[in-house]
Amino acid sequence: MITTASPKTSLPVPTDRRLEERSLRARTEAMSVLALGDGLYEVESESEHTYLVDLEAGRCTCPDHVFRNVRCKHVRRVAIEITAGRVPPLGRIAVECTDCGESVFVDEDVDGPFYCERHRIYPGATVRDRETGDRLTVVDVSDRRADAVQIPDASTTVAEYGTNENYDPDVPVVGTVYPHATVARNGVVPASLKVYVFPRTRLERVRTDDRN
């Protein structure tokens, strides 16, 4: 899993109120914040030091907190970044979309691959098979892994089947049909259609204008 930090930058200072010294420095100094999970955030300071913030406890490993027991500029900066939506709140972490690298916030105990809103798939979505270029329609997004799902006619798992070996065996499987029929968004499939199962990462979301 690739976790992503906020860009190392300073923030604008509001002009309509006076900030106390630590709040001011929480904004004017260039810092980057990385959510580590378990309520911990790593802050890289302007002086290139790295401190660990425990947000719930309001603790930080910097001298200002350790020796003076104050709410330091790092704890304040983490709170500011969360409020602004640039850093994930408690219980979530920032990861990269598998297809485009965009940062997405996900529950910290959930396994990938992860996708941004543009690359997320659901029953009825159109996808492209990266191996053949074929367009397919998604009918089922499972949470079962490719190496745990058997292909009925082939006596192998999805992960071992043909060119699926190019993709990680621990990704979830996705059921698809060739789009010669309309599939309802709730995943209802006409009985005559054959469902083809792929490792999630072999499929790439295709944007269509008709998303209904």
- The answer to whether 72 contacts Zn ion (rule: CB under 5 A) is yes
- The answer to whether 99 contacts Zn ion (rule: CB under 5 A) is yes
- The answer to whether 200 contacts Zn ion (rule: CB under 5 A) is no
* Residues whose CB is less than 8 angstroms from the CB of residue 140 and which lie 6 or more positions away in sequence, other chains included: 123, 174, 175, 187, 195
Nearer to Zn ion, 45 or 157 (CB): 45
Neighbours of 128 (CB within 10 A): 15
- The answer to whether 77 contacts Zn ion (rule: CB under 5 A) is no
Residue 18-57 contact track with Zn ion, rule CB under 5 A, x = bound: ---------------------------------x------
135-194 residues near Zn ion, rule: CB under 5 A:
none
- The answer to whether 203 contacts Zn ion (rule: CB under 5 A) is no
- The answer to whether 119 contacts Zn ion (rule: CB under 5 A) is yes
Burial of 53 (0-12, 13-18, 19+ CB in 10 A): buried
How far apart CA 156 and CA 197 sit, in angstroms, is 12
With CB under 5 A as the contact rule, the residue among 35, 60, 95, 159 that binds Zn ion is: 60
What residues make contact with Zn ion under the rule CB under 5 A?
Answer: 51, 60, 62, 65, 72, 74, 97, 99-100, 102, 116, 119
